[in-house]
Amino acid sequence: MSKVRREHGAGGELMESLIKEELLPNLTMRGEGSVTLDDLDDGATFPSVDGEMVMTTDAHIVDPPFFPGGNVGKLAAAGTANDLAVMGAKPVAFACSIVVREGFPIDDLKRVYRSIDGVLSELGAHLITGDTKVGNTGDVDIVVTMTGVGEIVELVRDCGLRPGDKIVITGTVGDHGMAILAAQQGLDTDLESDVAPVWEAVNAALEVGGVTSMKDPTRGGLAGALNEMAEKSGVRIVIEEERIPIREEVRVLSEMLGVNPLEVANEGKVVMGVRPDMVDDVLDAIRSTEVGKNAEVIGVVEEGTPRVEMETEVGGRRIVEKPVGDPVPRVC
Q: What is the pLDDT of residues 250-305, one digit of tens each?
A: 999 999 999 999 999 999 999 999 999 999 999 999 999 999 999 999 999 999 99
**pLDDT digit string, tens, across residues 36-46:** 988 888 899 99
User: What integer best gives the mean pLDDT of the chain?
Assistant: 93
Q: How many residues are present in the chain?
A: 332
**pLDDT digit string, tens, across residues 8-28:** 776 667 778 888 888 889 989
CATH topology of domain 166-319: Phosphoribosyl-aminoimidazole Synthetase; Chain A, domain 2 (3.90.650)
Which of the residue ranges 3-12, 138-147, 239-248 would you say has the lowest mean pLDDT?
3-12
pLDDT band at residue 136, thresholds of 50, 70 and 90?
A: confident
pLDDT > 90 in the chain, percent: 81
**pLDDT digit string, tens, across residues 68-123:** 999 999 999 999 999 999 999 999 999 999 999 999 999 999 999 999 999 999 99
**What pLDDT was estimated at residue 137?**
65
Contact yes or no for 223/206 (Cβ under 8 A): no
What H or E segment, with its residue span, contains residue 303? none
Q: Give one DSSP letter per residue of 30-69, joined into a string.
A: --SSSS-GGG--SSEEEEETTEEEEEEEEEE--SSSEETT
Nearest Cα neighbor of 273 from 221, 205, 207, 214 is: 214
Rounded mean pLDDT, 240-247? 97
**What pLDDT was estimated at residue 4?**
79
Residue 138 pLDDT > 80: no
Looking from the CA of 332 toward its CB, the CA atoms found within 13 Å total: 33
More confident residue, 70 or 323: 70
Rounded mean pLDDT, 309-321? 93
pLDDT band at residue 206, thresholds of 50, 70 and 90?
A: very high
Contact yes or no for 87/75 (Cβ under 8 A): no
Task: Tell the burial category of 303 from Cβ atoms under 10 Å away from its Cβ (0-12, 13-18, 19+).
Answer: exposed
Which of the residue ranges 77-91, 125-139, 215-229 would you say has the lowest mean pLDDT?
125-139
Contact yes or no for 73/60 (Cβ under 8 A): no
Residue ranges of the chain assigned to CATH 3.30.1330.10: 33-152
List the CATH code of the domain at 33-152.
Answer: 3.30.1330.10
Residue ranges of the chain assigned to CATH 3.90.650.10: 166-319
**What pLDDT was estimated at residue 223?**
96
pLDDT > 70 in the chain, percent: 98
User: Does the N-terminal peptide bond of residue 276 adopt cis geometry, omega within 30 degrees of 0?
Assistant: no
Residue 323 pLDDT > 90: no
Q: Is the Cα dihedral 295, 250, 165, 83 positive or negative?
A: negative
Residue 1 pLDDT > 70: no
